[in-house]
Every structure is written in C-alpha cells, then in structure tokens.
Structure 1
Amino acid sequence: MADQYSHYEIDTKKCVGCGLCAQNCPVSVISGDPGKTHVIDQEGCIKCNACFDVCPYEAVIRS
C-alpha cells in the first residue's frame, strides 16, 4: 500500500550497510554489499514504507 511519499532513497551518511532494509523489502529492490551503503531501485519501489520502518539508523529518506 503506497503512501503520500513518491521517492525513497538511502542517506549515504547514515547507512551502515546492515541490510535490514533489503531483507524487509517485499519486492527486493534494495541492494548493496554488507557494510556498504545500499541503494533503492526507484523503478521497482512500491513505496510501502517497509524500509523506512525497519531502519534503526534512520537512513531512509522519504520525499
């Protein structure tokens, strides 16, 4: 279920590469190596908020 935000991205200064966002993405559009900043594929993102909700580092930016 989409919300009012149309763009999700990962803040490179806050992301520690823990992978929780990728593990919880229902459409598997978040990628990255362990310990490295992850990336969200904007075309496939369904804006479900799962990555935002699960990130303990508040590294997911919604706009």
Structure 2
Amino acid sequence: ALHILIVPVLLLLAGHLAGSAVGSAIALIWIAHIAIDRALGYGLKLSTGFQDTHLGPIGRKRETFSP
C-alpha cells in the first residue's frame, strides 16, 4: 500500500500549500523511491507470492526438482 503514488502526491500538494519544506521533501523522496523500485522492475506485490508483481515476475526462476 505504501508504493501507490496517491498518498505521496497528496503529501506533496499539502506540503506545498502549507509551505512545509519537510513535508515536500519527504513526499519527493517517497516518490523517487517508488519510481526507482518500478524502474528496477519491483512492482506492487500480488497475493500469489513475493516474486509476483503487477509488472511481472522478479528474480531468477527456480528449478523444480522432479525425481
């Protein structure tokens, strides 16, 4: 839930309107964090597993052992 842009954008807007440099800085850092995660392929996690994201699977494929 913390990697959705709605909350940091609202925080940026509120920080700007209130003249709060700290609020704006936190919002910009948060937005940059989300952007970097998405640029590296780490998207929103799905309920099927940590390796499954809305951008596709991440990590190496595990080899299955079949005796």
TM-score normalised according to structure 1 size: 0.23
Structure 1 or 2: more helix by fraction? 2
Q: Which has the larger radius of gyration?
A: 2
